[in-house]
Amino acid sequence: MIGLPSFVVRHGTPGLAGSALVAIGALGVGWLPLTSNMLANPLVNLLRGSLAGSLSARAMVVIGLAILLQAWLVLGSELLARDRPDDGIPVGSILGVLGMWAAPLLLAPPLFSRDAYSYYVQGRVFGAGFDPTTIGVDVIPGWFDDGADPMWVESPTPYGPVFLMIERGIANFAHPNAYLGALLFRGVALIGVNLIAYYLPRLARLHGIDPSRALWLGVLNPVVLMHFVAGAHNDALMVGLVVAGLALAAEHRCMWGAIAVSLAVAVKPIAIVALPFVGLLWAGRDGSWVDRIRSWAFAALAMACTLASVFLLAQAGDGVIKAAFGTPSGVLTWLSPATALGKILGTLTSGIGLTEDASPVLAAVRLAGAAVGLIVVLWLILRPGGRSPVRGAALAFAVIVLLGPVVQPWYLLWFLPLFAATGLSVPELRAAIILTAGFTVHGMIESSANADNLTDIADTVSFVISILVVVLILAASPRERRLVLGPAHSGGLTPSAPDEQERAASMRWPVGARMRS
pLDDT value at 453 more than 50: no
Max CA separation in the chain (angstroms):
73
Give residue 200's pLDDT: 96
**In a domain? residue 328:** no
**R_g of the chain, CA atoms, integer Å:** 23
Cβ atoms 279, 509 nearer than 8 A:
no
CA–CA distance from 215 to each of 223, 387, 450, 480 (Å)? 13, 21, 33, 19
Cβ atoms 480, 73 nearer than 8 A:
yes
Cβ atoms 275, 299 nearer than 8 A:
yes
| Same-domain pairing of 227 and 365 | no
| Same-domain pairing of 152 and 289 | yes
What is the domain range of residue 424? 4-318+408-507
| Same-domain pairing of 167 and 304 | yes
d(CA 12, CA 75): 10
d(CA 189, CA 195): 10
Residue of 223, 225, 217 whose CA lies nearest to 200: 217
Give residue 214's pLDDT: 93
| Same-domain pairing of 396 and 412 | no
pLDDT in tens, 485-513: 555 445 678 887 788 778 877 788 887 64
| Same-domain pairing of 171 and 207 | yes
Residues 6+ apart with CB under 8 A from 376: 396, 399, 403
d(CA 37, CA 178): 11
Give residue 474's pLDDT: 61
| Same-domain pairing of 156 and 224 | yes
| Same-domain pairing of 299 and 358 | no
Give residue 295's pLDDT: 93
**In a domain? residue 68:** yes
Give residue 258's pLDDT: 95
Among 407, 427, 459, which residue terminates a domain? 407
Cβ atoms 363, 342 nearer than 8 A:
yes
pLDDT in tens, 316-342: 766 666 655 555 555 666 677 878 787
pLDDT in tens, 229-246: 999 999 999 999 999 999
Residues constituting the chain: 517
d(CA 372, CA 378): 10
Q: Element (H or E) spanning 80, and its range?
A: helix 51-80
Give residue 321's pLDDT: 67
pTM: 0.89
| Same-domain pairing of 412 and 263 | yes
Looking at residue 473, its amino acid is I
d(CA 107, CA 183): 7
Cβ atoms 276, 296 nearer than 8 A:
yes
Orientation of helix 289-314 relative to helix 254-265, angle to 10°: 50
